[in-house]
Each structure stands twice: as structure tokens, then as C-alpha cells.
Amino acid sequence: MPIETGRPLIEEIAPMIEWPHKVCPYQNAEFPLVEVFRKRDPVDFSLGLFTCGLPRSLVKQSKAAIPNAGFHRFLMKGAKDWFTGHPFSPAPFMRW
């Protein structure tokens, strides 16, 4: 069931697009779904090793329903390429 906020959904989607790799929590109570979306990134990236408070059964169920399809291989190639050329710099997508 969708969450009713009384405002256009685009207002909440824009920060989801801007902040998916934010390291620190997104702290704007007006847009609670942004923090939920941000938390899913470490769960996905770690293949469920980090759960960010989600039940492990839900993470396992999600992994079974949505196949990896080579995503992590793609990430590792990009990380290798980035860190080879920039060993002391965070990846450009990381946001504080």
C-alpha cells in the first residue's frame, strides 16, 4: 500500500536520486523514504552481509526474487579501475 504524503511524489524521488550513496543518514523528516532508499544501498552492495536493520529473512527473500545478474562483477571492475588511478581518493559517487 502506497504511503500518502499529500505532496507530489517527485519531491521525494529527487533526493533519492541525489543521495543513494550518502554515507551519513539523510536527516529530513519531510522525506522519510529517502533514508529507507539510502539504507538499501549497503544491503545490496554487501550481498546482504549488512542488513541496516532489516530482518535477514527479508534480505534473503529479496536476493532470491531479484537476481544479481553480474552487477557485483561490474562494481568490482569499476572499483579496481578507480582505485588503481586514485588510491587515496574516495570514489566519486560517495557523498557525505
Query: Is residue 76 assigned to a domain?
Result: yes
In this predicted model, what pLDDT tens digit does every residue of 17-29 receive, in sequence order?
Answer: 888 888 888 999 8
Bigger pLDDT: 21 or 49?
49
* Number of compact structural domains in the chain: 1
CA-to-CA separations, 70 to 38, 48, 76, in angstroms, rounded: 22, 16, 10
Mean pLDDT, rounded, for 35-51: 86
**Could you tell me the residue range of the domain that residue 37 belongs to?**
10-85
75 located within any domain: yes
pLDDT, tens digit (0-9, with 9 covering 90-100), for 57-96:
988 998 889 888 888 888 888 888 888 888 888 777 666 6
> How much is the pLDDT for 57?
92
Burial class (CB in 10 A: 0-12, 13-18, 19+), 41: middle
What pLDDT is stored for residue 1 in this prediction? 47
Dist CA 22 CA 28 (whole Å): 13
